[in-house]
Amino acid sequence: MSLNSEIERRRTFAIVSHPDAGKTTLTEKLLLFGGAIHVAGAVKSNKIKKTATSDFMEIERQRGISVATSVMGFEYSRYKVNILDTPGHQDFQEDTFRTLTAVDSVIIVIDAAKGVEPQTEKLMNVCRMRKTPVIIFINKMDRPADDTFTLLEDVEEQLKIITRPLSWPINSGPGFKGVYNLFNSTLQLFSPNIQEIDPGIKFNDLSDPELEKWLGTIDSDRLREDVELIEGVYPEFDTEEYLKGNMAPVFFGSALYNFGVQELLDAFVKIAPWPQPIIAQERIVDPYEESFSGFVFKIHANIDPNHRSRIAFVKVCSGRFERNKVYKHMRLNKTFRVSAPTAFMASKKEIIEESFPGDIIGIPDTGNFIIGDTLTQGEDLHFKGLPSFSPELFRYIENADPMKSKQLEKGIDQLMDEGVAQLFTSQLNNRKIIGCVGQLQFEVIQYRLEHEYGAKCRFEPIQMYKACWIESDNTAIMEEFKKRKVQRMAKDKRNRDVFMADSSFILDMAQQDFKEIRFKFTSEL
Ligand code: G4P
């Protein structure tokens, strides 16, 4: 198959949701359709339940599982579908955001009874920022839900995106009768017990009295009214607008009962984008280019605690990746050869000979890669746009076992490369500050330092509001700022200047006093 056809048949995407909306269930059902798994229950959630925040065995167990489910590839009809898994727990949202940089589209799952939840909103913000095309799946229709029009209004308002239903539910909860597929005018009847694929009942005209036979008079009339209203109120579905990230098609179903999932998948492969051009610092890289390029968006370390093994996950951006071919590691300015690249097919991984844009390959690593690294066939390229957000929680990290300072240093270094948290070094006293998004990250760091590196650490409180990366075109002003604020200056892991504001007042003052300085709350790796 030519490079072009390989690219155009690929669909690389992530399913995201607020915890418990049904991301794991939907993923599993999609894998069942793709034949990637054969029994329900094969994909375990890698979410960490609230009740288990201090259960580290659980975290460990789940980390082990999450490497197997990090990328799930399967063939569906003529398409190659790659689902990238994202952690459900909000304390690991940075990991999710990074994964979103490696996908070409996203499916957002919303619990019909709960509507848009805080995590859904945050994830949508990232999609909007990156103009990622989004499909919305309203799940759990077998449970009582709000009126559908109200629900969609809410979704539009809170997610700030134009929605367009492509299917429409007939009631919800115990009265849920199914969905009417507006895409191909078929009625899909719901039954919690039927698991096989139902082709649905085709209606060329909804006024057909046949509808009453299936839905009864009340629901038939209501569906006719609803459909008329949808056609009057909602704009036509426009694939171009969807691909630009301006319009989100909406589907309804019940992942648990495998209902509405195939319609979603069928529409998804048809409309979702194949790998798109990616912006590098130097130029825009087109997937159709002959030369291979890719970037590391995730590192999974110490999969086997007895061996210091890591896997760097690389998204192929252009060309054909080939096993044993020599490639260039841009940051290290070194060439290397990958003898055992792996591809991920559901719960197993296998060594592959070649890969194409949109694919994710796993490269066994002994510490040469960090998140954001670019690989090429020789050209100088740097992919950008992997955001590193300003953490919200800060602690000093101290050595609790002076005999193990080397181990501690190495552990911190590697965990930061993996993107577990961010490290800042105070310019005043050289103390190390760890910045996290969620409390759980501190616990994971402490636990992993001890169990994987044999080092003990202790966290100490620090009064801190925000870390901001600072830039200015005026070198003199920049030097003046750094001198004046020396007690609040730190370096990040890449030796960039960071202003550590201990309150919003201090930050406001600094912004007012130094107008020529740009204060950035995200940095690009
Ligand atoms: P998440 O990955 O988004 O966090 O959600 P997950 O799929 O784990 O689903 C959360 C809970 O919601 C699970 O129940 C799951 O069975 C249930 N669920 C998912 N889809 C549907 C649906 O369409 N209808 C209904 N009624 N429930 C649904 P749980 O009791 O928390 O877990 P489990 O013990 O069933 O695994």
For atom 11 of ligand 1, the residue with the nearest CA is 20
Q: What spacing in Å lies between the alpha carbon of 368 and ligand 1's midpoint?
A: 39
Ligand 1 mutation pick, 47, 176, 256, max ligand atoms within 8 A of CB? 256
Instruction: Write down the pLDDT at residue 306.
Output: 58
The Cα 376–Cα 334 span in angstroms is 11
Instruction: Write down the pLDDT at residue 73.
Output: 87
Torsion angles phi and psi, residue 323, rounded to 5? -60, 140
Q: Above 90 in pLDDT, residue 441?
A: no
User: Does residue 318 or residue 130 have the better pLDDT?
Assistant: 318
Mean pLDDT of all residues in 179-203: 82
Instruction: Write down the pLDDT at residue 46.
Output: 46
For atom 25 of ligand 1, the residue with the nearest CA is 140
For 208-223, how does the pLDDT look when each residue is reduced to its tens digit (9 = 90+)?
Answer: 999 999 999 999 999 9
For 282-291, how does the pLDDT look when each residue is reduced to its tens digit (9 = 90+)?
Answer: 999 999 999 9
Q: Above 50 in pLDDT, residue 424?
A: yes
CATH 3.30.70.3280 residue ranges of the chain are 387-524
Strand stretches in 146-211, DSSP E: 162-165, 167-170, 178-181, 186-189, 201-202
Q: Above 80 in pLDDT, residue 304?
A: no
Mean pLDDT of all residues in 355-375: 91
For 105-135, how does the pLDDT look when each residue is reduced to its tens digit (9 = 90+)?
Answer: 999 999 999 999 988 998 898 899 889 999 9
**Which residue in 122, 200, 208 sits closest to 438, CA to CA?**
122
Ligand 1 mutation pick, 20, 32, 51, 142, max ligand atoms within 8 A of CB? 20
| Segment (H or E) for 215 | helix 210-233
CATH topology of domain 387-524: Alpha-Beta Plaits (3.30.70)
Of 82-91, 272-281, 292-301, 448-457, give the lowest mean pLDDT range. Answer: 82-91
Calculate the CA dihedral of residues 402, 407, 411, 413 and round it to 10 degrees: 90
Are 206 and 229 contacting, i.e. CB atoms less than 8 angstroms apart? Answer: no
Residue 24, token pair as written in the block: 């794991």
Name every residue whose Cβ is closer than 8 Å to that of residue 46 and which is 6 or more positions away in sequence.
Answer: 62, 63, 65, 66, 69, 85, 87, 88
Q: What spacing in Å lies between the alpha carbon of 188 and ligand 1's midpoint?
A: 22
Cα angle value 193/194/195 (rounded, 5°): 110
Residue ranges in 117-170 assigned as alpha helix (H): 118-130, 148-159
- CB within 6 Å of ligand 1 — which residues? 17, 19-25, 45, 47, 88, 139-140, 142-143, 254-256
Q: Is the domain covering 11-68+89-271 a CATH 3.40.50.300 domain?
A: yes
In ligand 1, the atom with minimum distance to the C-alpha of 255 is 23
The Cα 523–Cα 525 span in angstroms is 6
Strand stretches in 339-463, DSSP E: 342-345, 348-351, 354-355, 360-365, 374-376, 387-389, 393-399, 422-426, 432-436, 457-461
Mean pLDDT of all residues in 182-189: 89
Identity at 305, one-letter amino acid code: P
Mean pLDDT in the chain? 87
Please report which confidence band the pLDDT of residue 350 belongs to, taking 50, 70 and 90 as the band edges. Answer: confident
Q: What spacing in Å lies between the alpha carbon of 26 and ligand 1's midpoint?
A: 9
Ligand 1 mutation pick, 16, 18, 24, 25, max ligand atoms within 8 A of CB? 25
For atom 31 of ligand 1, the residue with the nearest CA is 20
Q: Please state the pTM of the whole predicted model.
A: 0.85
Mean pLDDT of all residues in 443-471: 91
Homologous superfamily of the 278-376 domain (CATH): P-loop containing nucleotide triphosphate hydrolases (3.40.50.300)
Of 247-256, 300-309, 317-326, 359-368, give the lowest mean pLDDT range. Answer: 300-309
Q: What spacing in Å lies between the alpha carbon of 72 and ligand 1's midpoint?
A: 20
For atom 19 of ligand 1, the residue with the nearest CA is 22
Please report which confidence band the pLDDT of residue 476 belongs to, taking 50, 70 and 90 as the band edges. Answer: very high
Please report which confidence band the pLDDT of residue 49 belongs to, taking 50, 70 and 90 as the band edges. Answer: very low
Instruction: Write down the pLDDT at residue 420.
Output: 82
CATH 3.40.50.300 residue ranges of the chain are 11-68+89-271, 278-376
Residue 60, token pair as written in the block: 């460990």
Mean pLDDT of all residues in 300-314: 72
